Amino acid sequence: MAVQKNFIVKNGLQVDHDLLFVDSIVNKIGIGTTNPKTKLEVFGGIGATDINISGISTVLTEFNVGSGGTVITSTNSGLTGFGTASPIYIVDIRSPVSAGLTALYVYGDARITGDLFVDDIEFDYASITNLKVTGFSTIGTAVVTTAYINTGVVTTLSGSNLNYNGIGTITTLYSNDATFIGNVSSTNLNVSGIASVNTGFLSTANATSLNVSGIASISVGVITTGYINTGIITTLSGNNLTYTSGSVTNLSGTISTTVTSNVTNLNVLDKAVISVSTTSDALRVTQSGSGNALVVEDSTNPDLTPFVVTGLGSVGIATTNPLYTLDVRGDINFTGSFWQNGSPFIASKWTSGIGNTVYRSSGNVGIATTNPLTPIQIENIYGIKTGSGSVFGFPGNLYIIDSFTISQTDFKTSEYTIHVGYGTYIQSQKVLVMQDGTSAYSQEYAIMYQPDLIVSIGATITSGEMILRLIPEPGINGTITYRFVRETML
């Protein structure tokens, strides 16, 4: 039947039994069914060049794109495959090759609440509960509760439990506990718990416990407890640090440090234990610069009593600039003997014995007295003093040549031996003086002179001072010189 004009069916249409069925009462069309449940229901397959659906499209059994569904296949069991007609996962994406082709690209955030098993993975940022990478991974930023990574290049990784099996290069790592079985190269390692590293190259390491069984190269490390088998360290500080061997530039500790390594700067706040068994030097300090080789000081800054060994071998105690091989700025107490060139050192012919046999105080020397009141005093009775000077004298005037304060040095008797000179005139004599605190009594005797008498000498007490004075004789007018020896008795 050929129809050349519009074809209108008003009361329904049915072709064959169920090939085409049009129900005008409910306004539904069925193809392959006489009981359509939607506007158009097709029981069987649909082949079309283009399909444009603006509403909801429901596929009850299976939806295929591509030959045999090899591009997209979605089954009524809830499995959807991309690149496979036989999906075995809810979302099954398969690339023609296992590497080198991006099979899944997500522009935006991706959230995975279950497990993620990846052979090779590259993240810009990821927040994951459990991450297990058996192959190679490149991660920009990841927050992971538990991570197992075989080999990876990580920019920033933080989490609770991180395990590295192969080779890892990490820029920043924050972890509660981290274990590195293979080799790890990290710029910043921050572990609040235990960090176990087989071999590591760490730019900055902060950990409560760091255990390196192999070689550790650390630029800056702050470790509470650390065991390092072999290491090259720039700066390392912590509480308990154990070194088997290594080279350290700056090492500081608090509780106990056992070091068998080459150390540039060792700073231990509690104690340092250097324990070796060797036929060579246990500790060798080489200073090739201008600074000291060894400085031991307390917490005072600056320390006024340091112990210093210079690069030239001088030792300073209480000085940072020893001027001698041994320079001590302070008291020395010793129980042994001083030796000089293999013999006991004798500093003086005087020997100090019981009862302060020889005593020196303020320039005075006492023999059998600890309080000498004259330049030389024997016991508490006898003392000797000398003096000299000159006066420009006139006849009849009084000139003082010696005195002492009675309240301080109550000499009962003083005997003077005096020599006087006036030009070519000379005079020698003795003067015996006694005093009772208020008056002085003097007696000249053994007077000799040539050619004439120059002076007469006497004593008096003025304002508590015992004064010895000379009086020029008539005709004596000019410079008079004198010198004396005074022997006193307390």
- Domain residue ranges of the chain, discontinuous segments joined by +: 8-45, 59-97, 112-275, 297-331, 383-489
Among candidates 133, 129, 124, which has minimal Cα distance to 111?
Answer: 129
pLDDT score at 90: 87
pLDDT at 99: 65
Fold classification of 383-489 is Immunoglobulin-like (2.60.40)
**What pLDDT sits at residue 270?**
59
- Predicted local confidence at residue 245, as pLDDT: 64
Round to whole Å and give the CA distance between 252 and 239.
Answer: 8
pLDDT score for 351: 47
Q: What is the pLDDT along the chain (490 residues), one digit of tens a residue?
A: 566 666 666 666 667 777 777 877 778 888 888 888 887 888 777 777 777 878 777 777 787 887 776 888 888 888 998 889 889 888 888 877 766 677 777 777 777 777 766 666 676 777 777 777 777 777 777 777 777 777 777 777 787 777 777 777 877 777 777 777 777 777 777 877 777 777 777 777 777 777 777 777 777 777 777 777 777 777 777 766 776 666 666 666 655 455 555 656 656 555 666 666 778 777 777 788 888 888 888 777 778 788 899 988 899 998 988 999 999 998 989 888 888 888 877 666 454 544 556 767 677 887 777 778 888 887 777 888 999 999 999 999 999 999 999 998 888 899 999 999 999 999 999 999 999 999 999 999 999 999 999 999 999 999 999 999 999 999 999 999 999 999 988 7
Q: What whole-number distance in Å separates Cα of residue 413 and Cα of residue 433?
A: 6
Q: Which pLDDT value is given to residue 236?
A: 73
Contact in structure between 419 and 427 (CB atoms under 8 Å) = yes
User: What is the distance between the alpha carbons of residues 311 and 27, in angstroms, rounded to a whole number?
Assistant: 107
pLDDT of residue 23: 78
Q: Residue 18 and residue 32: Cα distance in Å, rounded?
A: 5
Per-residue pLDDT at 349: 47
Q: Distance between alpha carbon 101 and the CA centroid of its chain, in Å? A: 51
- CA 284 to chain CA centroid, Å, is 21
At residue 120's C-alpha, the angle toward residues 115 and 126, to 5°, is 55
Q: What is the model's pLDDT at position 116?
A: 67
Contacts of 224 (CB under 8 A, 6+ apart): 207, 208, 209, 238, 239, 240
pTM above 0.85, yes or no: no
| Collapsed DSSP state (helix, strand, coil) of residue 69 | helix
Res 157: pLDDT: 77
The one-letter code for the residue type at 260 is: T
CA–CA distance, 102 with 95 (Å, rounded to integer): 8
| DSSP code for 430 | E
Cα–Cα distances (Å) from 147 to 89, 134, 178, in that order, read 24, 11, 9
Residue type for position 99: A
Rounded to whole angstroms, how far apart are CA atoms 374 and 353? 21
